[in-house]
């Protein structure tokens, strides 16, 4: 199934708390303007003809983000909560607001041990809330961190720790939207995912913040692509900092890449204009990399453009031995 516009290869990733970096948060990422949401035609997503994934933990309401980005492609990121009714309500609201797919995070039944967050007792500033939840209790542990981080307490209290393939089937039973599984890293999981009526796989290791020592996504990507064999679209996130990184991912079989941290850097630098500059820079770098690689079109990008570092290191070691 192909449900991403054919010209889109660089996507804006979900990040929950832009408002901790920039005054208008997610709203300015989408609007691309310092004024109100009435400037709908000036949205960064529409300008760059790309897709944005909104975190369910956003501090800006999904309705406001949807209005600000009307006309662009927007997907909604989801966790499965212990409270299935709450989860279903989030999905239904995302459908009603015009989001085009559900991105289900499958690598966080529990939160990885983030020692820095625990030491700092990380929590949301008191003036921020999780805007997509009606009950204060659904976000209170994020604000009142005690022995651990507020995020650790929140996930332990509310997120379903028993996530399974049956959870994916349940999600499919309540929505007709395409489902993208975020957090797949192996061929085995990719093959199993095909048995559960999903439409996309996002090869992701959660920014390497969940499991220390986990495989880099660019190393996990080839086996997932090979296993899926074109039956669903495969995307990748993690480590995308230059246009050459995009080229490598596309050469290894990714349909598109997601970026997260560079968006935050753009926000910190110059608000929504900074985000546009980040996206433009990556696009320009990709075009240059394609030209210097002999590719006039994305369809010309193939796996023979890249080799693994171990291949090059092995050749150098052999020469040194001679």
Please give the positions annotated as active site.
206
Question: What is the three-class DSSP state of 137?
Answer: helix
Backbone angles phi, psi at 222, to 5 degrees: -55, -40
Helix (H) or strand (E) holding 222: helix 217-228
Question: What is the three-class DSSP state of 169?
Answer: helix
d(CA 62, CA 56): 8
Cβ–Cβ under 8 Å, residues 247 and 289 = yes
Cβ–Cβ under 8 Å, residues 286 and 246 = yes
Sign of CA dihedral 106, 239, 3, 63: positive
Half-sphere exposure of 222 (CA within 13 A, CB side): 10
């Amino acid at each position: 199934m192909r449900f991403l516009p054919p010209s889109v290869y660089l996507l804006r990733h979900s990040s929950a708390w832009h408002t901790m970096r920039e005054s208008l948060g997610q709203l300015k990422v989408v609007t691309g303007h310092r004024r109100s949401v009435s400037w709908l035609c000036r949205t960064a997503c529409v300008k760059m003809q790309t897709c944005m994934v909104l975190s369910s933990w956003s501090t800006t309401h999904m309705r406001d983000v949807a209005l600000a980005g009307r006309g662009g492609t927007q997907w909604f990121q989801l966790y499965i909560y212990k409270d299935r009714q709450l989860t279903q309500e989030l999905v239904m609201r995302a459908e009603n607001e015009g989001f085009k797919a559900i991105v289900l995070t499958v690598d966080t039944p529990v939160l990885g041990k983030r020692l820095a967050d625990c030491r700092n007792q990380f929590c949301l500033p008191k003036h921020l809330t999780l805007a997509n939840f009606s009950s204060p209790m659904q976000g209170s542990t994020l604000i009142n961190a005690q022995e651990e981080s507020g995020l650790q307490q929140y996930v332990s209290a509310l997120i379903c720790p028993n996530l399974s393939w049956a959870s994916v089937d349940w999600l499919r039973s309540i929505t007709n939207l395409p489902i993208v599984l975020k957090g797949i890293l192996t061929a085995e999981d990719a093959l199993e995912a095909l048995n559960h009526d999903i439409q996309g796989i996002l090869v992701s290791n959660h920014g390497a913040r969940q499991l220390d020592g986990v495989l880099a996504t660019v190393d996990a990507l080839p086996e997932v692509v090979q296993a899926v064999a074109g039956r669903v679209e495969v995307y990748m996130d993690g480590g995308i900092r230059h246009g050459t990184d995009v080229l490598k991912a596309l050469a290894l079989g990714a349909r598109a890449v997601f970026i997260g941290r560079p968006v935050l850097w753009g926000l910190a630098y110059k608000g929504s204009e900074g985000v546009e500059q980040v996206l433009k820079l990556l696009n320009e770098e990709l075009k240059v990399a394609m030209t210097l690689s002999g590719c006039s079109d994305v369809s010309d990008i193939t796996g023979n453009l890249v080799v693994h570092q171990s291949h090059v290191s092995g050749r150098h070691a052999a020469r040194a031995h001679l």
